[in-house]
Structure 1
Amino acid sequence: MNTVPTASTPTKSEIRRWRRYLADEQAEAAVYRDLAGRRTGEEREILLALAEAEGRHEAHWRELLGIHVGQKRHGAFRTRLLGFLARRFGSVFVLALAQSAESRSPYTADVDATDAMAADERIHEEVVRGLAARGRKRLSGTFRAAVFGINDGLVSNLALVLGIGATGVPPATILFTGIAGLLAGALSMGAGEYVSVRSQRELLEASSPNPATRDILPHLDLEANELTLVYRARGMSPVEAEAHAREVLSTLELQTGPLRTADLAAASEPIEDEHEAIGTGWSAALSSFCFFASGALLPVLPYLFGMEGIAAIVLAAVLVGIALLGTGAIVGVLSGAPPLKRAIRQLLIGYGAAGVTYVLGLLFGTSLG
């Protein structure tokens, strides 16, 4: 069990380590306060509570340091970067980064940190994960369309340009082929996303309770209590469904005015959350179109500026590689996974697909020659 060491003169290495922890706790508390300043209601209260907890940790290190506290130091670079982003954006990206930072807490293995502090950091990770999940859910529909769109544009048009270029056709043909691939792919992605999201929303809406049903609740037979079937159909056990239905009907008996709480609508909250998560048809279509077009434009840029041959192919591959690394890192940050690992995975998948097409283009060009 980790306990606070007895009073003694700390070593230089201990002083350096405690000062670093102190600076990190101060920086993390500032990040949560900055995030709270851009939010209201429950999220603000939760973030301020996290900042207060970091303040308790800060007090622990101050007590250990005593007269050795020294001048105020800057926290770790990643924590200061979080603070910069929190002050200017306060978005789900910052929460995702904060979640990752909390997961790397060294307190579990440090004898000078208490068990309570180590437990706090693990809990903080889950709290921030919950806050980030709200933001992920709000943007997941549009974000999914955007990520798929830009990656499809990058990979498909790079593969198209490399495959056609490998056959030895003139640069103008490669350029026009790339532009045609851009327009065809962007329109196809936009239309496909619109149809997909609209269809998914329509299926979810068909599963939502009919609001008019609440008007008949007061007329239900209390003995038969068929309202239990509604709750059983939505996943409750028979005992839970019967207890909940009787509670609802007994509440209705006590009401003298119109029904104020649509109890059936409450059962539809998961459906509404799913609506929010998948986004709207138009937003998904527009995101897919724009991001596919922006991704598909990169492989064409060298040919737009008059380059040709191997130089154009190499530059196109480099531009797409940088973009794939960037999108992979963003996905990693938002998912709480290591950004570098996701970036490399994205790069290898993209280059693998484009490389196969390039080889096929070479073989096709050789056979024609």
Structure 2
Amino acid sequence: MADSNEPAQQGTPADRAKWRRYLADERAEAAVYRELAARRSGEEQQILLALAAAEGRHEAHWLGLLGGDERGIPRADVRTRLLGWGARRFGSIFVLALAQQAEARSPYAADPHATAAMAADERIHGEVVRGLAARGRRSLAGTFRAAVFGANDGLVSNLALVLGIGATGVAPSVVLFTGVAGLLAGALSMGAGEYVSVRSQRELLEASAPDPATREALVDLDVNANELALVYRARGMDEAEAQEQAAMLVARVQAAGGVTAGATDALAVVAEDDEAIGTGLSAAVSSFLFFASGALIPVLPWIFGMSGIAATVLATVLVSIALLITGATVGVLSGAPPMKRALRQLAIGLGAAAVTYVLGLAFGTTIG
């Protein structure tokens, strides 16, 4: 006869094992959101705590199906434990990006023991985390773009350079000096190019922004022959809307007797977020440093005195590892599968290096 104090058994043993896994994952995910919330304040903190509370409701659902029996609860899956580890130590955009992917992988929509509301919650949680992650992505966009592109270009271009030169059969010192020259030339070129690119982008935006002095003319405009409507039309409004908006603004300014702080300056245009563009100097420095760090890796074997096929193989292995890391990093931050992005980065980089290596072999054979 069963002990009356034992919890009621529901579901098959396989079902109960699955519910225990879900329970462990929900607890771990709630802990991740609480860890992230502890490192933030204001609205973001409130949002993260609300997510943790929602995961707590899901936890209660699975615990209810288990009859309150917490025996045999396993550890959370590896991905969720890694999220918790990252949240405790970094609390960064990387953790939010990984959490976004975790929410997207929820099995609740296909599980008959999960409620429709729980499945809907997980989809909405994914969008909430996507929104939080997007804030971090915007703040990283300018400098991060320069850093990733710089490192990747340094890895691929200098690996291709040293492999191509090395394949011709020249002395190891020539390969080394060629790699160092490629590092310096490429890093300077990347830094200068990124600075010019960002500065040019800012100057284009500034050229498109309205002239602040134009505001002073608003008080003297003829309401009946409202030239301001042409400004609105040039900015993309249709004729009727432009006439209406222009008349309202001129009437408001003239009633106030001048342009006041309360008057709507509808001449303003929405420009790109400065954070998304970044500054020319920061982008240039990031490009220089990351290109140089990437370009240094394929030269390391020759720096430490290696030569021939051993140096070539080691350089290729080191660059392959770095390409996988940069590709996975881009994948994580973009919310895409990191392994897919890593392999794509690896294939492109090694493909370019292989072409130059084959050309170097052919050239070395020709001159030999």
TM-score by length of 1: 0.89
139-148 vs 218-227, which deviates more?
A: 218-227
Q: Distance in 2 between matches of 1:267 and 1:73?
A: 57
* Cα pair distance change 1:30/1:222, threshold 3 Å: farther
Q: Distance in 1 between matches of 2:227 and 2:17?
A: 68
Give secondary structure in 2 for the equivalent of 1:200: helix
- CA drift of 1:139 comes to 1.1
Confirm whether residue 363 of structure 1 aligns to residue 362 of structure 2.
Answer: yes
Equivalent residue, structure 2, for 1:30: 31
TM-score by length of 2: 0.89
Contact 1:214–1:262 (CA under 8 A) maintained in structure 2: no
Amino acid at match of 1:319: L
* Cα pair distance change 1:365/1:210, threshold 3 Å: same
Equivalent residue, structure 2, for 1:192: 193
325-334 vs 238-247, which deviates more?
A: 238-247
Q: Provide structure 1 residue ranges, at least 5 long, that are not aligned to the other structure.
A: 1-6
Q: Distance in 2 between matches of 1:349 and 1:170?
A: 28
Equivalent residue, structure 2, for 1:84: 85
Equivalent residue, structure 1, for 2:353: 354
- CA drift of 1:263 comes to 3.8
Confirm whether residue 288 of structure 1 aligns to residue 280 of structure 2.
Answer: no
Q: Provide structure 2 residue ranges, at least 5 long, that are not aligned to the other structure.
A: 1-7
64-73 vs 83-92, which deviates more?
A: 64-73
Amino acid at match of 1:329: A
- CA drift of 1:202 comes to 0.6
Q: Distance in 2 between matches of 1:125 and 1:41?
A: 21
* Cα pair distance change 1:96/1:247, threshold 3 Å: farther
Confirm whether residue 315 of structure 1 aligns to residue 324 of structure 2.
Answer: no
Confirm whether residue 18 of structure 1 aligns to residue 19 of structure 2.
Answer: yes
Contact 2:183–2:296 (CA under 8 A) maintained in structure 1: yes
Q: How do residues 96-245 of structure 1 correspond to structure 2 at under 5 angstroms?
A: 96-217=97-218, 220-224=221-225, 226-238=227-239, 240-241=241-242
- CA drift of 1:53 comes to 1.8
Contact 2:20–2:72 (CA under 8 A) maintained in structure 1: no
Give secondary structure in 2 for the equivalent of 1:111: coil
Q: Deviations over 1:171-224 (max 9, x none)?
A: 011111110111111111111111111101110111123334445555555555
Q: Distance in 2 between matches of 1:352 and 1:290?
A: 24
Equivalent residue, structure 1, for 2:277: 278
* Cα pair distance change 1:257/1:14, threshold 3 Å: farther
Amino acid at match of 1:268: V
- CA drift of 1:33 comes to 2.0
- CA drift of 1:241 comes to 4.8
219-228 vs 38-47, which deviates more?
A: 219-228
* Cα pair distance change 1:80/1:231, threshold 3 Å: farther
Confirm whether residue 345 of structure 1 aligns to residue 347 of structure 2.
Answer: no
Give secondary structure in 1 for the equivalent of 2:76: coil
Indicate the percent of aligned positions where both proteins have the same amino acid.
71
Q: Distance in 2 between matches of 1:315 and 1:262?
A: 67
- CA drift of 1:72 comes to 5.8
Q: Distance in 1 between matches of 2:29 and 2:51?
A: 9
Give secondary structure in 2 for the equivalent of 1:68: coil
Q: Distance in 2 between matches of 1:267 and 1:37?
A: 38
Contact 1:211–1:264 (CA under 8 A) maintained in structure 2: no
Confirm whether residue 336 of structure 1 aligns to residue 335 of structure 2.
Answer: yes
* Cα pair distance change 1:52/1:197, threshold 3 Å: same
Number of aligned residues: 361
Amino acid at match of 1:309: G
